[in-house]
Structure 1
Amino acid sequence: MSYEAIRLDIDSSSHVATITLNRPDKLNSFTRAMHQELGAALDQVETSGTRALVLTGAGRGFCAGQDLGDLDFTPGAMTDLGAVIDEYFNPLIRRLQALAFPVIAAVNGTAAGAGANLALACDLVLAARSASFIQAFVKIGLVPDSGGTWFLPQRVGMARALGLAITGDKLSADKAESWGLIWQVLEDAEVAPAAARLATQLAQQPTRAIAAIKQAMRAGTTQTLAQQLDLERDLQRELGASHDYAEGVQAFIEKRAPRFEGR
């Protein structure tokens, strides 16, 4: 399938896929067509044997959120924002969170509105030092969506989450890292190669275990300790019967590097 609003690259040798949001003249803001292309690309990624995914943006920005030009502001016929969220943004966030392999956001510039929360929906966020994160919703009378009201309090605490959401102030990449909002800040020119190296490294790891780690960590935000202990037990039982567990133990005994297959 050919794409216009995104670029898709799948490296079969490293099992790494890269999706680049490709509307640089609009800071890679979302339209319905872009959502549809991104969904199709994720379908392709999931059936390609990919074991790690990098999500980034073309040009000087990562993603500016919703393209307001794709909405109708005609009095009496304004676009139902809830319908747009329900049809496009929420399924995308749920899908990214549920992918059975690691997802890395390489934030190369502004990540604003839903674009900021798109990055936070990935498992690890690498950001250029010049990048920034903006919960811009309040500037036009809206509430953070695409998981913003869930991601922010968990990562930076309620006081900082409310501050970011209520003021809509720009948060620098350095401060985002120091607050624990993202994983790592790098010099601008190093973000793309560092994301590629990390994805290649993670693609060689036991990705089935990584998927279980993601599941357990996220479940822990809403479950009791007793429920979490039971989940850990169940996941460990399942992983204990996997090829990768047997390979990891054998490699340890033989003092060699393991050859994980994600099964």
Structure 2
Amino acid sequence: MTQTTYITYSLENGVATLTLNRPSVFNSFNREMALALQEHLRACAQNDEVRAVVLTGEGKAFCAGQDLAEATAPESMEISRIVVEHYNPIVLLLRELNKPVIAAVNGVAAGAGANLALACDLVVAKESASFIQAFSKIGLIPDSAGTFFLPRLIGLQRASALMMTGDKVSAAEAVQMGMIYKTFTDDSFQAEVAALAQRMAQMPTKGLAYTKQLLNVSFQHTLAEQLDQEAVYQQQAGQTTDFKEGVEAFIQKRKPNFTGQ
């Protein structure tokens, strides 16, 4: 395990775990933590040993969003610059990362913290966790791609309501409305996340990456364009070692041993 000041990193059995580590302020982002997370995400993308990534928080919270003490300090950058330099690159790195990313929401996810979770490929949460679009409570607009992902996940009407009211959404409600994948009991959360991440790390990594790339463009394509893209990526997937292994395992009626190649 390695640790920068505000990000803890570990790699075990193909699973890289990135833990936001400012528990005294509910893992709210300052500049150092945002830039460190960007660096770790870039490193995960380049490291072939990493086949799945878990993003979680230390302590009681997942992430409370931006550290307002930093944002309102006399020497602070403009809010728009914080968004452009801190959060926008993180969202793009999460979506461009060529491996599955699991947001393991261990507590409250508010503001940018909620929206960064929603930018991940799978979001799971403790039953006691919650999600809050907290921006309206301080006169700001939802950033970190919240206005992009949330309406696509739960529909325009619900997204509008949650962003304008700032109402808290329980983990169970988030599952019900399609915001997140599933919940686990608080006691079983760590083990369940580990099992899910290990499962993802043992999948055909390139095939998952191609799936992710297709999902990234699916809302901007016509049906015909998306069908064309599926053909392109299926051609690439069909040339991987994991495809050959998957077919052989199916024929031999055994569990496949995917290597990510």
TM-score, L = length of structure 1? 0.95
| Secondary structure at 1:7 match in 2 | strand
Separation in 1 of the partners of 2:217 and 2:246? Answer: 26
Residues 1:44 and 2:43 aligned together: yes
1:152-231 equivalences under 5 Å are: 152-231=150-229
Conservation of the 8 A alpha-carbon contact between 1:5 and 1:34: yes
1:47-196 equivalences under 5 Å are: 47-48=46-47, 49-74=49-74, 79-196=77-194
- Compute the displacement of 1:111 (Å): 0.1
The residue number in structure 2 matching 1:24 is 23
The residue number in structure 2 matching 1:6 is 7
Q: Spell out, residue by residue over 1:78-101, the C-alpha distance to the aligned partner (whole angstroms, 9 max, x if none).
A: 631111111110000000111111
- Compute the displacement of 1:187 (Å): 0.8
Separation in 2 of the partners of 1:199 and 1:3? Answer: 23
CA RMSD, Structure 1 to Structure 2 (Å)? 1.3
Q: Spell out, residue by residue over 1:27-56, the C-alpha distance to the aligned partner (whole angstroms, 9 max, x if none).
A: 000000111221222233334310011111
Unaligned runs of 5+ in 2: none
Unaligned runs of 5+ in 1: none
| Secondary structure at 2:34 match in 1 | helix
**Quick one: percent identity of the two aligned structures?**
48
- Compute the displacement of 1:256 (Å): 1.6
Q: Spell out, residue by residue over 1:111-161, the C-alpha distance to the aligned partner (whole angstroms, 9 max, x if none).
A: 000000011011101111111100000011111000100111101111100
Separation in 1 of the partners of 2:73 and 2:44? Answer: 35
Conservation of the 8 A alpha-carbon contact between 2:7 and 2:20: yes
Separation in 1 of the partners of 2:128 and 2:228? Answer: 43
Separation in 1 of the partners of 2:87 and 2:76? Answer: 18
- Number of aligned positions between the proteins: 259
Separation in 2 of the partners of 1:185 and 1:224? Answer: 34
Conservation of the 8 A alpha-carbon contact between 1:19 and 1:55: yes
Residues 1:251 and 2:249 aligned together: yes
| Secondary structure at 2:187 match in 1 | helix
Separation in 2 of the partners of 1:106 and 1:44? Answer: 20
